[in-house]
């Protein structure tokens, strides 16, 4: 366990990572999915409110920032029309289900159920971006996800008494962020497609080549 004041450093690292994402969005090199980034703002902000109500204290700061910074990314996507990923039906479907999870929090006001609903909402909101990161990782910026993983990892290291209210959301962010780091940073999707394309090309070439005459 480390001193709780390390959370300030973790929050700064997370903010720096999202600042790079924000810069790339304004430039048009990164294309955020608006459904994801809007709902990624809502769910953590609600989770932060629940954490504060539960007496989490300073550890709610990174959760709040993980909601506030995506709100800036969402706003930045309107600055540059090029920096927008086309929203499909499945994106809207995931967004609608995410909203349902948010409504659960508003209706119940129960700590454990509220954070569970916020996690589910955040996950569903992230599905479109995870799918995009698999097919088109070049439209994302990995720094934001690295910053989120480090930020929430530091939060977990400061926990003295592990409870669901304190640890659930940071653990989820670490897991979700790690998936994005792999998909965007290592680009396994395009690599796999390229390998399959080469394999199909080799198979076609082999099938088209004339057979050797009998001796």
CB 142 within 8 A of CB 184: yes
> What is the rounded CA–CA span in Å between residue 61 and residue 13?
13
pLDDT in tens, 45-66: 877 777 777 777 777 787 788 7
Is the predicted pLDDT of residue 140 greater than 90, yes or no? yes
For residues 81 and 31, give the distance between their C-alpha atoms in angstroms, rounded to a whole number.
Answer: 9
Alpha-carbon distance 202 to 14, whole Å? 45
pLDDT tops 90 at residue 157 = yes
Closest by CA position to 15, among listed 192, 183, 109, 143 = 143
| pLDDT at position 49 | 78
Please give the pLDDT value at position 105.
66
Domain edges within the chain: 6-204
Q: 209 pLDDT exceeds 70?
A: no
Tell me the whole-structure pTM to 2 decimals: 0.82
Which of the two residues, 65 and 178, has the higher pLDDT score?
178
> Is residue 7 predicted with pLDDT exceeding 90?
no
Supply the DSSP symbol for 59. G
Higher pLDDT, 209 or 161: 161
């Amino acid at each position: 366990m480390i001193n709780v004041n390390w959370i300030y450093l973790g929050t700064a690292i997370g903010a720096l990572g999202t600042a790079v994402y924000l810069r790339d969005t304004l430039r048009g090199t990164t294309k955020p999915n608006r459904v994801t980034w809007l709902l990624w703002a809502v769910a953590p902000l609600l989770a932060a409110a629940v954490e504060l109500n539960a007496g989490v204290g300073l550890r709610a700061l990174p959760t709040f920032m993980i909601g506030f910074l995506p709100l800036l990314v969402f706003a930045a996507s309107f600055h540059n029309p090029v920096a927008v990923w086309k929203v499909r039906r499945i994106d809207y479907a995931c967004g609608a289900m995410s909203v349902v999870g948010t409504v659960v929090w508003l209706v119940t006001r129960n700590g454990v159920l509220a954070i569970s609903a916020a996690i589910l909402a955040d996950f569903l909101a992230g599905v479109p971006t995870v799918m995009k990161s698999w097919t088109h990782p070049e439209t994302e910026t990995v720094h934001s996800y690295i910053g989120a993983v480090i930020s929430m990892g530091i939060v977990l290291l400061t926990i003295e008494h592990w409870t669901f209210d304190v640890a659930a959301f940071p653990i989820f962010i670490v897991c979700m962020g790690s998936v994005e780091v792999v998909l965007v940073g290592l680009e396994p999707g395009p690599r796999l497609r390229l390998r399959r394309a080469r394999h199909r090309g080799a198979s076609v070439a082999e099938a088209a080549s004339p057979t050797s005459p009998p001796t």
